[in-house]
Amino acid sequence: MDIAVIGLPQSGKSTVFNALTAGHSTSTGAGGAGPLQIGVVKVIDPRLTVLDGMYHPKKVIHAEIKFWDLPPIDRESASANQVLSGRQRNILQASDALLLVVRVFEDPALLHPLGSVDPGRDVKVLLEELALADLEALERAE
């Protein structure tokens, strides 16, 4: 399963990613808007251990979840009115799930890119950017 982790700058997106992957990740080359972090987590299921004890298969394969930490969605630094790079759009389209991270904490040392902390507005901004990316993909397909 692939899960893309997305959010605005200074939202805590990479902190959530690091918590999910226990800090075990690899960095890929620049993806148009910056490097991507990839973390793979094995899902240990105790039921699988019981089945292994009952049937003694040659090999036991645990489920894996691959998390993609995409660069932040930043309207201010977007080039040519394109917030998401082609590589980011490809990862989002191929993902099985999207994990939207929004900021709900105040920290005077970390300025919010939109001026104030408003989780509802931030979710709306992220969903709008994803909808625009979908529209761009549809226009290219025509």
Q: Tens of pLDDT along 103-139?
A: 999 998 988 888 899 999 999 999 998 998 888 888 8
Output the pLDDT for position 6.
Answer: 95
What count of other Cβ atoms lies within 10 Å of the Cβ of residue 36?
22
Q: Is this prediction's pTM over 0.95?
A: no
Beta strand 26-30 with 35-43 is antiparallel
CA-CA distances (angstroms) from residue 25 to 1, 2, 18, 19?
A: 16, 14, 8, 11
Backbone Cα Rg of the chain: 18
Q: Give the residues across from 35 on adjacent strands.
A: 30
Which has the higher per-residue pLDDT, 85 or 57? Answer: 57
Among 56-70, 72-86, 102-116, the range scoring the smallest mean pLDDT is 72-86
Cβ neighbours of residue 89 closer than 8 Å, sequence gap 6 or more:
133, 136, 137
Strands (E) across 1-142 are located at 2-7, 26-30, 35-43, 63-69, 97-101
| Residues 20, 87, 77, 133, CA torsion sign | negative
Residue 27 — pLDDT band, cuts 50, 70, 90?
Answer: confident
The answer to whether 92 touches 131, Cβ cutoff 8 Å, is no
Report all structural domains of the chain as residue ranges with CATH numbers, in order of start. Answer: 2-141 (3.40.50)
